[in-house]
Each structure stands twice: as C-alpha cells, then as structure tokens.
Amino acid sequence: MTEVANRLTHVRRAILPWIVVGAAFSAACGKAKDSPAPAPNPAPKSSPPPAPAPAKPKCAPLPGADTDHEVIEADLDGDKVADQLVPTDCDGRDDCTLHVFLVKDGCPTPLGDLEMVRGKPDVLPLTSRGVALIHTDSAVHAETDETVYAWTGTQFVSAFEGCTYAGPAHDGEPCTGGVTPDAAQLCLGGGAPSATFDVDGDGQPDGAFDVPCDKDTDSHACGSWILLSRQSCLVPAMVLPPGKIDVATPAAHGKPARLKVGKDYYQLPAPK
C-alpha cells in the first residue's frame, strides 16, 4: 500500500502544474471573450497640400525706343508707379507702335501693343481689368484718327474709334466717332458716375461717367461715357459730348430714353 500511495502522490505532483496552466489559459480565454479588443490607434490625418504660390510676373527686358523717340511714362494701374510705353516702328508722320509694360517692384511685365500712336497718349479715368483706358491719335492722310484702347485681361482692344479733324479732302464729311463692337466684351470701372438713369429701357440704372481728355477739345472720345448695367458689369454703349445730360424722354416699356446735351438729342437703338 505504501508503494501505491507513493505512486499516486507522484502522479498528482506531475499533473498539478498542467492543471494550473490549463486553468490560467481558460481564464485568459474567458476574459478575452468578455472584454472587447482595444481599438487600433487612428491613422494620423494627412495635412492638406500647401496652396501653390502665386505666379510671379515674368519680367521682360524693355525694347529700345526708335531713334529720336523716348520711352513714355504713365501710371496705368493707379499704383503710383510709372509704367512704360515704348515707341517703335515709327513712320514719317511720327506714328509709332507703343509696347505697353506694367512695372511692379522694378519688374516690367508686357501687356500688349497699341498700334499707330502719335505722341503721348491720354490716360483716361475709366479702367478695364484694373488698367486705365488709353486715348490715342494718329495722322492718316488729311485727317487725324483717334482710338481708345481697353485691356481685356489678355490683350488691348479698340473700345472707341473716330476722328478729330477732317482736312480739305473731306469737306462736307464731318468727323464722327463711336463705341466699337469689341466694347461689348468689356467691364469698365473707375470712379463714380456723374448721373444715373435707365438709358436702354431694361429697368436697371445705368451711368454717365465724365471722361476728360487733355489732347484735343474737339475729340469725340472725350465727354460723357454712357455705361449700361449688365450682370454686375458696366458695358460702354455711347459717348456724349461734354455737358449736362437731361433726360428729355424717360425710358419706358423697353424703349430707350431720349437724352439731351445742349441742343442735341441722343438715343440708343431699341433693344432687340
């Protein structure tokens, strides 16, 4: 019996560690079933890419002015810094092509060309895309033609064309002028209107803007520019002579107003 008891004791001692290990393993499994697994750490949020730096203007070397001509300086964008207009390809009447450069921080940036300009142009108070309208004239045979250029954001276009003087060859043919078809794509600004009224009969207030010129008192481009309201845009429609504008007949039911300056009457064509 003693031998049998000794064997049983030995067996118990051998089995006991495995029972303890099994119990611990079972408890751990039970705990794993009862407790949810910890949530994984959230992935770090990626920061948004930095905004691209604004494009720097491409500086360009100024071309040389033609012989006997000088670079013309004029502030075109109202920053109190002189911009540059360089005359080249001048003909025998001193009509030149003007290469226009805006100057920022000493950097000339080319805008475009004004064709066949004589002398120094007028910088008008109206602006297009932040650049002043530019009034020029040129000599053509027996008359002097005038053009007002406006910046579209990509190029200069003619907003007004006319003539300021007709020589003997054009007796009986008075000089006239008017807003060009290209002006319909423009949005003009600069200053406050001298008067507001519905000009074209669409029920929206339009504006008359005083535009003086230094060059010629008889210029058809200088006077009162009539700008029509078009979806938060002011589009040039016609230019009236300088002077007080009276509304002789108000616009009504889609019919344009009849305007009077001095003894003359003016009216837009009825809208289509």
Percent of the chain whose predicted confidence (pLDDT) is above 90? 57
Q: Kindly state whether residue 38 falls inside one of the protein's structural domains.
A: no
3-class DSSP assignment, residue 190: coil
Number of separate domains in the chain: 1
Q: What's the first-to-final CA gap in the chain, in angstroms?
A: 127
Give a yes or no: residue 179 inside a domain: yes
**pLDDT value of position 4:** 39
CA 230 vs CA 69, 169, 200, 205: distances in Å: 42, 41, 11, 10
Report if residue 45 sits inside a domain: no
Residue predicted with more confidence, 116 or 13: 116
Phi/psi of residue 65, each to 5°?
-70, 155
Is residue 248 domain-resident? yes
Q: What is the four-CA torsion angle of 56, 61, 66, 70, rounded to 10 degrees?
A: 70
Who's near 150: CB < 8 A, 6+ residues apart? 128, 131, 133, 156, 157, 158, 159, 183, 186, 188
Give the pTM.
0.76
Listed range (1-5, 17-21, 100-104, 174-178) with the worst mean pLDDT: 17-21
Compute the distance between CA of residue 235 and CA of residue 255 in angstroms, rounded to an integer: 18
Structural domain for 221, as ranges:
72-266
Query: What is the arithmetic mean of pLDDT over 77-84?
Result: 96
Model confidence at 21: pLDDT above 60: no
Choose the most confident range, by mean pLDDT, from 67-76, 139-148, 217-226.
67-76
Q: Is 252 inside a domain boundary?
A: yes
Does 7 fall in a domain? no
Residue type, 185: Q
Residue 196, domain member (yes or no): yes
What is the predicted pLDDT for the residue at 122? 93
Question: Is 18 a member of any domain?
Answer: no
Nearest to 137 by CA among 226, 70, 214, 242: 214
